[in-house]
Structure 1
Amino acid sequence: MASVTLSGLRKEYGDLTAVDGLDLDVDDGELLCLLGPSGCGKSTTLRMLGGLETPTDGDVHIGDEPVTDQPPYERNTSMVFQSWALFPRKSVIENVAFGLKMDGVSEDERRERAREMLDVVEMGEFVDHDPTDLSGGQKQRVALARSLAIEPDVLLLDEPLSNLDKRLREQMQLELRNIHDAVETTFVHVTHDQNEAFTLADSIAIMHDGDIEQIGAPREVYDDPVSLFIEEFLGDTNLVDATVAEVTETGVIADTAFDTEVDVRTGDAAVAQGDGLSVSFRPEELDVERVEGTDGDGASAVTGEITDVLYRGSTVRFYVDLGGEHLFFEQSVGADTAFSAGDVVRVSWDPDDLLAFAADGARVGRGET
């Protein structure tokens, strides 16, 4: 195992800057996910860590050793790619032992270590099988065992589950988490799938435009996003335009696009009357009930009509028309309170649950009283 330190890491391709001065620390034995949309620089960052790309500027340390200028074969890292890249004419155990063979390990020792790693990934009964006879999930386990067999200080995973179907991908996420706990090796895992990152990670580093926007535990980055980009990227939310009408001791009263004032907790953030805000209403934080008429509208409630019902498997999403603007909320299928198109409902919320963002996308406060 080893820690990882990336300092001022930068990668340019001509006029394109793929990674822009990135700093990152990964603890010894940690499973960190680099999470972000396509093109944000996460795979390029991983490749620079593994030595497959040379930084334009910056430094890479694995443990206490500077490795920025070292080729991949001199770094004790191993990488698992989207493609399994197994040798079709070698057996499963020969595939897993291949890296050890290249390192000059004796045949008996490399076969023993390969068997151990196949047991770790629950593929011990397939040692003599042909890789072409395996399922996608089994092939990915073999590729993982091959990378672990050489006992890397850091295991690098570049979206290794993206080629699997949904059910198998979710199963492999849990297996990968268990494998990490068993081998106690430092993992750096790249993904664009937020659910995968939440399932796997000790820490999540969210990348945007070539740099890290926020890093923290999964619950932390979801509950306490630092920017509008992260709030939109992690899960679904209702974003409503608003204008600050009054500054209060705990936040602001803002006029919204659906003609209702909302009380937004912004603490002591620098917000002035007339400032524009984007206010986030997470669907899981909305309370909804059928009503008749509009009595009860105010700073924490609004009445509207359900216009659309969208079935999404285990949940149902309901869209509420608020005079031209819309909010959506969700319920589990089979919930006691089911709604239909045409129902008049009151949507309410706790002001402490609202998140507000300035025009530049920066967070201006949440739940501070």
Structure 2
Amino acid sequence: MRIDKICKTCGFDSNGVCGMYTTCKEGEECDDWEASLEYYTEITKKAPWYIKKPYDQCKISYEKFLDLLQQDEQGVGVEINIYDAIEKVYELNSVELAGVLDVSMGVLGYASTQRTIPKRKRQFSSRLHIPESFFDEFLSTQLDALKKCREEFRDCYGDELIEKFKQNGYAAMEAKIEKQNAVDKIKNEKYREENQNRYQYKEKTKMYHDLSDDYKSRDYVIAITLKEGDYYGNIFYEYSSGGYGLSVDIMEDILQFIENLDCEEINELNEEGLLNNNIALQADINGKDIHFELRNDAGEKLEKTILEDELQKYIVGYEMIRCDGRGMKKERRKCGSCENFTPIEGCAKGNCSVRGDIIQRSRIICSHDYVLKADKVLC
């Protein structure tokens, strides 16, 4: 592709008037040429794929992009990642190519981004009918040779077998995802077992409902209470907000959360370790029933199995039990509320144990070393 560095395509040109020189060098190449927006759009759209792709992926600069276009126009080979060239010429995506080469995506990814080790060169060369030297360096001037290799590859294996290779790649990817999901599930189950009592919010009476403007936002916890007779338990709904109290919008979100809590949703939240409750809430494998347990004040347990759409029958209340400030605003981080500050009796000054100096408590906004006093912590 030729780059026309002339007035017509230059960003400095305005209706035939040059913004750099007193006269317009119409039809002549100019060293101070800069592509106009219209021409930039054209060349970035029409550039050869092996130059366009690395530029679109921000792997080369605009100056390098222009240099490569000029190099390509002059017939000088442009270096191409051999795996990009294979995917383009053989009409395969990375998953299909991994299937054709009979390797994992990890092996293919390493070869593509790092280097192709000798063992893989022999393996890939044999399967794709490509010279091993292509894996050391591949130029745009060799694309025609690669197309001939593609025809040899297709003649050797045939469409049916090649399609089977491609499907093997997809099957391997699905198997890897399933394996990872199984590992994640085990990790999440182990985490829940180890931390099942960590977030149960038993100390409800210590909640302090802070309505000050001291924090950027707050973390709230709502205890959704389920009860039958004297037996009770909670599902905990957690959220962050810059507002206060149980607003209408928040209540709508909570009610929607409960309405969506069917077997499928319970399973998904449990697998992710996100269903915080103290009633051992689980979905049955039949996909219709849910199991949970309630306890009375004596600690006696009542086990329940109900249909998934009957859960709301047991809900008797929604109560905010935690309100924790997050990110104290800068103007609130003053010495008077800091653990490291000791006021001097009879004046507005005090000693800062971190700075080792006497400071004016009412004027200092501490951006470092601020520790909120224990008696002011929200809980």
Q: Normalising by structure 1, what TM-score?
A: 0.21
Structure with higher helix content: 2
Structure with higher strand content: 1
Larger radius of gyration: 2
Q: Normalising by structure 2, what TM-score?
A: 0.21
Q: Which has the higher contact order (CA 8 A, sep 6+)?
A: 1
